[in-house]
Amino acid sequence: MTMQLDDSFPPRPPFPPWRPERPDRPGPPERPAPSPNPAIQPTRVWFDQGQWPGRLYDRLLEQRIVMAHGMLNGEAATRLSAQLLTLDAEGTQPIRLELQGLGAELPAALSVMGVLDVVRAPVSAYVGGRISGPALGVLVAARHRYAYPNALLVLSEPRMSFDGTVTSVAAQEEQVRAMLGELFSRLSEVTGRDVGSIRADAERERLLTVDEAIGYGLLDGHAEARKGARGLS
């Protein structure tokens, strides 16, 4: 028998060297899945963080709760008015209006006030954080008005800026005076104070605590826990 040899040196073995296999080591035993605790209520988690605010507001609307926060400009006023009108079209059950840290442009506040005037359902406003200027007009347009312990109410004039020709600026100033007069008239009607007194308080930016605002006539009382509300979780 003839064997064919290659030219490598040292010669390679005709087959791979044998290596002993490592014995399989038993892994840790699998733990059974923990059973759910019936005392803990399930929590809904939204993994799409870009959409969770809208979904949360939708769930609040199902409870007939409308929330306004930040700066109420023209776009926000349109959205808030649409929510109020939608709930009013669905029925005459009470609506809860949450005003959280709210400021407002004067035209936007008057727009929402007009909608609140025609809504058939009774609207209760709840104030949290600082609410100032024309946003107080939205508050007094509600049938009932309450505040959380941390609320601060500031009577102040709106900040306005104008541009254009002398004639157009003069016309804009006249329009603002008329709108501001409407705002102060509504505050006077609700609080029972004369317009001149309210205007003077706004000029010096009078700040009111919850108890002071109750005495002033802007609030009916302190916020209390809701009764008979369905859970949101």
Model pLDDT, residue 102: 95
User: What pLDDT digit, counting tens, does each position of 105-147 carry?
Assistant: 999 999 999 999 999 999 999 999 999 999 999 999 999 999 9
**199 close to 184: Cβ distance less than 8 angstroms:** yes
Its pTM surpasses 0.85: no
- Would strands 152-155 and 130-132 be described as parallel, antiparallel, or unpaired? parallel
Q: Which of 211, 217, 179 is nearest to 198 (CA)?
A: 217
Domains of the chain in sequence order: 52-222 (3.90.226.10)
Q: Which of 165, 209, 217, 228 is nearest to 186 (CA)?
A: 217
Query: Looking up tokens 């759910």, which residue turns up?
Result: 36
Model pLDDT, residue 110: 96
Pairwise CA distance, residues 1 & 13, whole Å: 18
DSSP-derived secondary structure letter, 165: -
Model pLDDT, residue 123: 97
CB contact set of 6 (below 8 Å; sequence gap of 6+): 12
Backbone φ and ψ for 68, nearest 5 degrees, come out as: -130, 130
CB contact set of 107 (below 8 Å; sequence gap of 6+): 74, 179
Model pLDDT, residue 157: 87
Residues of the chain with pLDDT under 50: 1-2, 38-49, 229-233
Q: What is the 3-state secondary structure (H, E, C) of 19-47?
A: CCCCCCCCCCCCCCCCCCCCCCCCCCCCC
